[in-house]
Amino acid sequence: MSTLPTVLITGASSGIGATYAERFARRGHGLVLVARDKARLEALAARLRDEAKVAIDVLPADLTQQADLAAVEMRLRDDARIGILINNAGMAQSGGFLQQSAQSIDRLVALNTTALSRLAAAVAPRFAQAGTGSIVNIGSVVGFAPEFGMSIYGATKAFVLFLSQGMNLELAPQGIYVQAVLPAATRTEIWDRAGIDVNTLTDFMEVDELVDAALVGFDRRELVTIPPLHAAGRWDALDGARQGLLSDIRQAHAAERYQSQP
């Protein structure tokens, strides 16, 4: 009988991360739960140990702090039981670009991009050596939409999609599956933490429905899963247009329209 891989989940104390923990525990996977709130992690771990009878470790960490991030990287490099990384930890942005402080920008970028990238980079060599492993990066449809007015947050989520696609091209031949999950607005605590009144927003997806849809994509080995997208062909068209653009870029000379003044 094969042993299911352990799943390390960041941002696991609530919302999307906690729901991923519940779902994987029900499937029989051991867990390593990572978040800042140790008390909430311990409570979740105790409940899931009792309900699912699986091994669960708690690893409190603030991934914007270098020492904490390094500790999680070490766990990913050294613990051969871990075969799935759910890169879920993230924060939202309140206010427009002019309202952002240097500190808020640093923290947002550190968590949404730097920590996610470093954790994936920490585990990928071991996965490649084993010839198997999965990395799930939680992005957002806001990464498509500068019109939403969350410029820095959206840019970090566009980064997550690009990184995931690039990782797939590099790592799939090594046996590593990389999934980008792009939610729309989901009812989690991320909004309260950003100082955004959830009651001013509409069309929220419930977190259970979001994670269940993402796991359907995971089981199908989709590279990009967009749970709220009803017309799948729209993503195919967008990606096809991007690839067509690349085929039309000729680097030797400037395009004719730029070769003379109007």
Measure the CA angle with vertex 164, ends 237 and 171; round to 5°.
115
Active site residue 153: yes
Sheet with 133-138, strands from edge to edge, namely 56-60, 31-35, 6-10, 82-87, 133-138, 176-181, 224-225
User: Cβ atoms within 10 A of the Cβ of 172, count?
Assistant: 13
d(CA 209, CA 97): 31
For residue 110, CA distances in Å to 154, 240, 260 come to: 14, 31, 43
Measure the CA angle with vertex 66, ends 176 and 188; round to 5°.
70
Please identify which of the residues 20, 153, 177, 258 carries the catalytic annotation: 153
For residue 161, what is the enclosing H or E element? helix 151-171
Catalytic residue numbers? 153
